[in-house]
Structure 1
Amino acid sequence: MDFSREAAQSLSFTALCSVSECVQRQYHFINERKTWTEAQRYCREKYTDLATVDHMNDMNELKKSVNYGGVQFVWIGLQKTGRDEWQWSSGEAALYLNWATGQPEGRDDCAMMFNGTFEDLPCSDARHFICNNTNTGLIFVNQLKSWRDAQNYCRQNHIDLVSVRNQNESEQVEQLINIVVGTTNSPKSQVWINLFRVRDSWQWSDQSNSIFRYWDTGEPTNSGGGENCTAVNAQGKWFDVSCINQYSFVCHEDKLIVIRENLTWSEALRYCRQNHVDLVSVHSEEIQRRVMNVVKRASTAAVWLETVCYQNWAPGNGTSEEDCEDAVRSGAVQSGGDQRWISRPEHDKLNFICSRY
């Protein structure tokens, strides 16, 4: 991986997908009054699950699907679970956590890397930081910023704060610090990474990593206790309510579907084109997040994909940018771990992901 110092000229931020591309779910309004659990069961039997919402594009699509005539609230798939965990801000679960001795202390919500290990700090602390850039690799930024300001800076000028998801990525960060700072013991070598603590007691029914929330002012209130499920009003605002209330509800149908049959890559491609639309093609960060959510349902360690021009290859896998010009190329994504792309012989038999759009 190439390393570089921060350039003076900032890069412009470009959206990774159009509105039509980013809406990857189809919403179905069910005008039957059920408890949250009954609605969840219905959606899982008929569609994919109770509605998950990733961003405002999804929220707007959900609102369009609902006929609010005489309906006060509709259920969506958000429920209180007591979640408290560390994750990468891309939404990936943090499976590699190389904490220093005695860390994390449990008080703070943002992580820095120092001497190859992680420490938790108040997010308001000022530290140097490292950005990831698809073209130039890792960028050491010689500025002191809070974790949130550092994240915003990286997202506006590069891709994101650096993620350290395995030993190989850890060594790359340490190598850059040694090149730029000259030592790993300097205060300047204490750098923010993309890891933060989610103290969010709410979880989506389909186990999606979406951290999008659209609560009404003052919500959630847990008024009287036991308000552990989420309903949406006609304005699209969210309220916490008792799960035993009976409301109409919204199901979603993923436009990506995991097929739990073991086929070669060519067989998987043929299956998707005959029964759906195509093997999934990952060409944006948004679709990569969708793939990461649905691939957990696979029964094989890796899952077939089609053309993959949004680069997320595991170290030692993948190929060059020029190959994105090829009409069709095979690839696989890990169903566990950090869900990176890997190369597999096309005669291997794996589960696969079809696109319905």
Structure 2
Amino acid sequence: MQWSLFLFILMGQSFFFTCHLYVYHFIGENKTWDEAQKYCRENYTDLAIVSNMTDMERLRKSTETLTEAWIGLHSYPGKDNRRWYWSLPGLKFNENQTRWESGEPNDNGGQENCLLMNNQKWSDYPCGYKFRFICYNETKQFNKSFHLINYTLTWPQAQRYCRENHTDLVSGLDQLDDNSVKSGSYVWIGVFRDTWRWSDGRNFSFRNWEYVEDLVDGQSNKTCATTMLNRAGKWSSADCNEEKPFFCYDDKLILINESKTWVEALNYCRKKHYDLVSITNLDEQRWIQERVKKASTESVWLGLRYTCTLDFWFWVSDEVVSYTNWASGVECDDCDMSAVMEREGRNQWFKKPDNETFNFICSKN
């Protein structure tokens, strides 16, 4: 049974197929932001969203035009509309898990939208002030994950430095609990707040502003975001009624809010779309987990299955299993098991019996 099912799964996809989970389209016609949003929703998925620096490079390379173009970011000014975010993409800021100094945050200096840490306690602070900062490096450059930078920069400058030379500003409570970070005294860390929202409702925290002023709320009527392709793609804000070219994106994933067994989910995807989704890197994990958060079941099937016959896990799309996000303590070598991603928490992977039923995500041609 195991061998025949394994052959059935692989024969279902007779050729190797790879693509991005979403595709950018540059539209050279000048439109207002609202008109651009309407066009993208009618012809693709929505105005472009940008979730990390990899996306930013893909956006820039999708056109040879050096101009200013709309992206799908819109501001809703007002202090009550601000939200806190971690700088590192993919981390969700939890208002119930914070380490504020007594009386903070308080906007005591006006608009205080960036976070300063002193001996593990947090204070909101104006983003334009200069302090030392801590960078996180996921590749452990010089055998270190965390690097204290001993010269001072504004918060946006510090974020840019960390992204260009490491990975990002230190982000997340797990990173802040590292012994090499705990002793930080008056240092920027990767927390900020703003009133900007993505057009399609996603909660990505990635920002690529050119100027610190764009982290300050309530500035005139410049409430729509542009990417300036003649300035390495850095972002600026503009009056939404101005007419500019724009970027759309086309999502290649679809969440199916029906509960099916793993084999039923596989057959559904292959009949109506392309295949059950595969995840080959951290960027794809972050993109897909945003979809998983909207599922109606506690977990969502992935296209990852274990074969007892050959004793390994494989993606049904024939992608190499080079990236995983298993929860700690999960034993990964049982028969008749496939992988799910949890809807809540850290969106980690668990193994589940094939005959359990969950929502699932299909990839599209």
TM bucket by the smaller chain?
A: 0.5 to 0.7
Cα distance change on mapping 1:338 and 1:203 into 2, 3 Å: same
Q: Classify the secondary structure of the residue corresponding to 1:43.
A: helix
Q: Deviations over 1:142-179 (max 9, x none)?
A: 99766979x969x96x99968447xxx99xx6xx97xx
Q: CA offsets per residue over residues 246-270 of structure 1, 9 Å max, x none?
A: 3443210123332223222222222
Cα 1:94/1:319, change in 2 over 3 Å: farther
Ranges in structure 1 where 5+ consecutive residues have no aligned partner: 1-20, 178-186
Counterpart for residue 340 of structure 2: 332
Distance 1:253 1:349, change over 3 A: same
1:66-113 deviation line (CA, Å, top 9, x unaligned) = 586xx965321021235431436243112350537737545661557x
State how far apart, in whole Å, the 2-side matches of 1:340 and 1:234 are: 36
CA-atom RMSD, angstroms? 5.1
> CA 1:264/1:100 → structure 2, altered by over 3 Å: closer, same or farther?
same
- What's the TM-score, normalizing by structure 1? 0.63
The unaligned stretches of length 5 or more in structure 2 are: 1-17, 107-111, 305-320
Does the 8 A contact of 1:332 with 1:343 survive in 2? yes
- How many equivalent pairs are there? 303
CA drift at 1:189: 6.0
The residue that corresponds to 1:8 in the other structure is none
AA aligned to 2:193 is R
Aligned to 1:230: 225
The aligned counterpart of 1:17 is none
Does 1:102 find its partner at 2:102?
Answer: yes
1:215-266 CA distance string (max 9 Å, x none): 4899799998101112345635543211123344321012333222322222
Q: Hey, what's the Cα distance between the residues in 1 that align with 2:168 and 2:83?
A: 26
Any idea what SS the aligned residue of 1:330 has?
Answer: strand
The residue that corresponds to 2:361 in the other structure is 353
Aligned match for 1:120, one of 105, 122, 128: 122
TM-score (norm 2): 0.61
Tell me the amino acid that sits aligned with residue 331 of structure 2. Answer: T
CA distance in structure 2 between the aligned counterparts of 1:355 and 1:140, rounded to whole angstroms: 37
Match of 1:84 in 2: 83
1:60/1:331 Cα in 2 relative to 1: closer, same or farther (>3 Å)?
same
Q: Displacement of 1:330 after TM fit?
A: 1.9
Of 182, 191, 196 in structure 2, the residue corresponding to residue 197 of structure 1 is 191
Q: Which amino acid aligns with 1:92?
A: L
Which of 327, 331, 337 in structure 2 is aligned with 1:314? 327
Q: d(CA) in 1 for partners of 2:137 and 2:228?
A: 40
Percent identity of paired positions between Structure 1 and Structure 2: 32
Partner-residue secondary structure (3-state), 1:272? helix
2-side partners of 1:205 and 1:86: how far apart?
17
- Alpha carbons 1:255, 1:355 under 8 Å: kept: yes
- 1:23–1:58 CA contact under 8 A, matched in 2: no
The answer on whether the counterparts of 2:86 and 2:92 sit within 8 Å (CA) in structure 1 is: yes
Show the counterpart of 1:13. Answer: none
- Deviation string for 1:306-337 (max 9, x for gaps)? 23753433344x335xx6xx9x9622122233
**CA distance 1:346–1:356, shift in 2 (3 Å):** same
Residue 181 of structure 1 corresponds to none
> How many angstroms apart in 2 are the aligned matches of 1:209 and 1:262?
27
